[in-house]
Structure 1
Amino acid sequence: MVFARSAALLALGGLGGLGWAAPVEVRDDTVSLDIFNRLSFFEQYAAAAYCKSNSDSNSTGTKVTCEEQNCGSVEAANTSTLIEFAHSTETDATGFATTDMTNELIVIAFRGSKSIDNWKANLDFQMEDVTFCSGCRTHSGFLESWNEVQDGVIKAVQAAQAEHPDFMVVITGHSLGGAMATIGAAALRNIDIPVDLYTYGAPKSGNDEWATFLSGTDKGESFRVVHKDDIVPTLPPSVPFLMPYAHVQPEYYITSGNKVDVTRQDVQVLADGDNGGGDIAAHLWYFNRISACDALFDLKAKRMVEDLS
């Protein structure tokens, strides 16, 4: 656990001299009601990935639930998990895929960082070439996390599509889970599976070519949600030539504070943005307390802030 704490401080503390860039160019004042509802709904699936009941590999075929009651709309749907995974070989990738019969969806959701193995993956900042698109490079640790579970996830999705060919495929996650979802979206689109991507508080996962590919593909939409003052989307730091990290655009920027209900008027669409702030509490609150099912995640994050103050 000492490594996890030190790793987090290294990742956060290393940005002190870089300064913070404010969000730029508001594309529209507020999002449409349809998009707002989708952002809110799929945040609940990302929240569900933190709940152990949804990642127990011995209980595939069960309903998606949240013991902290922070995914009510998901719990109200007729869901049945296709695959549940936790404690993958090296990176502890955790999450699930499920059918949602009520909303005619196939949803894949990944959990954020919790364990020392997650933090090792987070800090593997080096970039690797990928074949998803020309010139694309992505974060080595996030790529390894996806690679450890991709075979099972893709097989489960393809089987569900064969049974429900009209269902939309959606992939989502918070924090590290958002980075994994981003790579997963690229992988699925690369094998001609259209998929919509929803991430919350996700770090950067690749270079400009990577971000452009994911922002402009015709095989699904990409929605990257950032809460005001959340520090995680500023990571990893972009270093020209060495680590030229960039974000998928646009950014859906939540302007309201922590522990406040988010309204449609609180969400701005930014044509290009780099969230300015360093508040871990903001990382834990999106449309609700997204990591509520994992109190340990919340505690570790808060201790990071205390150590840095």
Structure 2
Amino acid sequence: MFLKSFIVLLGITALVSGSPVNLSTRAIDQATFNDLTFYFQYASSAYADSCASPNGNTLITEDKPDIIILQFNNVVTDTQGFIARDDNRREIVVALRGSTAATDFLIDAEIALIPFVSPGVRPPAGSLAHTGFLTAWNSVAAQVLTIVRAQLAAHPGYSLVSTGHSLGGALSGLAGIALQQNFPNKYVYSVNYVAETRRSNTRRFVPISPTRMFTYGQPRTFNPTGALFINQQFGANAFRGVHTTDGVPTIIPTSLGYRHHGIEYWQNPDPASAQTTKKCAADGEDPTCSASIPSQGIDQAHLTYFGIAAGTAFC
């Protein structure tokens, strides 16, 4: 299974324990903890070869958006994931799979920073992204955006969420900003308004919630300019989970020109709970959180998040 491939390929078996800190100053609210756990179930399910009903919801595709058929896949970059629609929460979720094959690890290793160019995204000058991650996301971006566009047209007012673990977390960061930029947060045109009101020449724009991203064990993906751009666009809506001593979030050092985006939620120590999860600094780099522990690469902590083994399918 993919968990073993991580360890065998990289030859990392050490487990480093984090030091407990004062829990009275760090606990997050239960609703935030529940969201972190809930969206990890999507991220974990992305490792499955097939997932007919992610988190009990509808799997959607490009050709038949309301029928369960398959997940999106690019065989060249080995980039997979799925798009699910939750009609109870009124949201569309894009989940990206993490590393499972040799191609994925080659993508992980392409760490040179290149100009951040992606369909529909308008970053400021000087924004750079990880070569491998950006190449992988761009290989499926058009397909994902096409499916989401159709879903928003059919379901106006639905919000958007991206999620992923490990490599999937990096791809989720790229997907999140693509969703936010291609489908602005303010309003979506309701194509059903005419039928609903029987007024043939009237249009309505329906407000939707801001796009959110939930990443887990995500390595650094952007340079400081790119990371700042994400932070400015998302604010508190970028959630970056880190489990105890997981070394992947810091495996690409800042000395190579990288910087994290999103607010880190450091779950340390175990067991996972709202009381053992700290909300870290808003700029993405908090020396009192997981960055306080030297990276050991892929360790056992990387393979479990919020009490769930990565790869567990909720389908």
TM-score of the superposition, structure 2-length normalised? 0.74
1:188 aligns with 2:179: yes
Amino acid of the residue matched to residue 207 of structure 1?
N
Gaps of 5+ in 1: 14-20, 55-61, 65-73, 294-309
Is 2:137 aligned against 1:146? yes
In the alignment, which residue of structure 2 is the partner of 1:254?
267
Q: CA deviation at 1:187?
A: 1.8
Report the number of matched residues: 258
**Superposition pairs for residues 141-220 of structure 1, below 5 Å?**
141-194=132-185, 195-218=211-234
- Asked if 2 retains the 8 angstrom alpha-carbon contact of 1:228 and 1:275, the reply is no
Match of 2:302 among 283, 286, 296: 283
Q: How does 1:25-64 map to 2 (within 5 A)?
A: 29-54=26-51, 62-64=52-54
Which stretch of structure 1 is more off in the superposition, 28-37 or 228-237? Answer: 28-37
Q: What is the RMSD of the two structures over their aligned residues, measured on CA atoms?
A: 3.0
Question: Does residue 1:79 correspond to 2:92, yes or no?
Answer: no
> Which residues of structure 2 form unaligned runs of 5+?
63-69, 186-210
Q: Can you list the C-alpha shifts for 1:44-93, whole angstroms capped at 9, x where unaligned?
A: 11011011112xxxxxxx422xxxxxxxxx23xx4233354465232200
Taking the TM superposition and a 5 Å limit, the aligned residue runs for 1:79-158 are 79-82=58-61, 84-85=70-71, 88-131=74-117, 132-134=122-124, 135-158=126-149
- State the alpha-carbon separation in 1 of the partners of residues 139 and 292 from structure 2: 30
Give CA-to-partner distance per residue, 1:205-248, whole Å, 9 cap, x none. 01111111112215881000101100111122233xxx301101
Contact 2:231 2:261 in 1 (8 A): yes
Shift of 1:158: 0.7
Name the TM-score, length of structure 1 as normaliser.
0.75
Contact kept? 2:114, 2:131, Cα under 8 Å: yes
Counterpart check, 1:244 vs 2:264: no
Which of 257, 265, 269 is equivalent to 2:275? 265
Q: Secondary structure at the match of 2:221?
A: coil
